């Protein structure tokens, strides 16, 4: 398998698209035509795996083995691709997708406090939330929420 140029590898790495285990991709196109099919390019590997199934009708079990994906990963990619198109092939940031402590009650309370006192500081509001709900939320989280509320108010 062809090793990408240093520059291409850097671009792939910066974009979060560098395949961590390119040597495990054993699909014939990547072995026979490495000048075009780059096993280091995660997006290309994912696309080709789905294309082989959807267009060529290859079975998922065999493709999972040759592309070094678990079957669950393959089905997840297939579902995301069906729902989102090519965007579904991009890797997602791991971890939580947003602040988990900001429940509906806390958001409502924050909105009411902001409406009552638009210039309230994040630390002060975080302290009020802790007193009322017995939950600690970092002042920076509250400051981001306040910034969002302030930007919406200007429209």
pLDDT digits (tens, 9 = 90+) for 72-91: 999 999 999 999 999 999 98
Domain boundaries, the chain: 6-89, 104-153
Residue among 22, 23, 27, 21 nearest 64 (CA): 27
The conformation of residue 66, written as its DSSP 8-state character, comes to H
pLDDT at residue number 26: 95
pLDDT band at 155 (very low <50, low <70, confident <90, very high): very low
| Residue 111 pLDDT > 60 | yes
Paired with 41 in beta bridges are 18
Element (H, E) at 107: helix 104-116
Task: Give residue-wise pLDDT tens across range 1-60.
Answer: 566 688 999 999 999 999 999 999 999 999 999 989 999 999 999 999 999 999 999 999
What contacts 32, CB < 8 A, 6 or more positions away?
Answer: none
**Inter-residue contact 1 to 19 (CB < 8 Å):** no
Q: Which of 40, 32, 42 is nearest to 5 (CA)?
A: 40
Tell if the pTM clears 0.85, that is, is over it: no
pLDDT at 135 > cutoff 70: yes
Cβ atoms < 10 Å from Cβ of 136: 10
């Amino acid at each position: 398998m062809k090793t990408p140029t240093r520059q291409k590898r850097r671009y792939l790495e910066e974009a979060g698209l560098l395949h961590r285990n390119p040597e495990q991709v054993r699909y014939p196109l990547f072995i026979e035509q490495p000048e075009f099919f780059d096993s280091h390019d995660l997006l290309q590997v994912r696309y080709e795996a789905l294309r082989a199934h959807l267009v060529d009708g290859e079975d998922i079990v065999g493709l999972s083995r040759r592309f070094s994906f678990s079957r669950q990963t393959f089905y997840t990619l297939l579902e995301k691709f069906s729902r989102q198109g090519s965007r579904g092939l991009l890797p997602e940031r791991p971890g939580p997708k947003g602040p988990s402590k900001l429940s509906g009650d806390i958001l409502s309370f924050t909105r009411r406090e902001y409406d009552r006192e638009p210039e309230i500081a994040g630390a002060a509001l975080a302290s009020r939330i802790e007193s009322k709900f017995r939950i600690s939320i970092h002042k920076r989280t509250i400051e981001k929420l306040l910034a969002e509320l302030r930007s919406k108010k200007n429209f």
